[in-house]
Amino acid sequence: MNATQWPAMVVTLLAAWLVASQNRRKRNWGFWFFMASNVLWIVWGWHAQAYALIVLQLGLLALNLRGASKNEPSVDGKSNT
């Protein structure tokens, strides 16, 4: 279980790379990869009894959900804010 931190780190770095893209589709994938990394960090945090990390990842998960929804095109063509 301790090895979970390594895939979590790799997925987090990949997500950051994708979110920085100017391509909407790549950014969207980045948010989903960030959410996967949040889950991996929560699993590792639970094993390590790192409860502050778990709370942080839950907050970041909520922000990533928001980011993914804001990345979608709006119905009226205006930017989502």
Report the 3 state secondary structure along the chain. CHHHHHHHHHHHHHHHHHHCCCCHHHHHHHHHHHHHHHHHHHHHHHHHCCHHHHHHHHHHHHHHHHHHHHHCCCCCCCCCC
The two three-digit tokens of residue 64, written as one number: 């990533």
pLDDT for 79 equals: 55
How confident is the model over 57-78, as pLDDT tens digits?
Answer: 999 999 999 999 988 765 555 6
Spell 11-23 as b/e; 16+ CB within 10 A means b.
bbebbeebbeeee
pLDDT for 21 equals: 93
pLDDT for 13 equals: 98
Stated pTM of the model: 0.84
Which regions of the chain are under pLDDT 70? 73-81
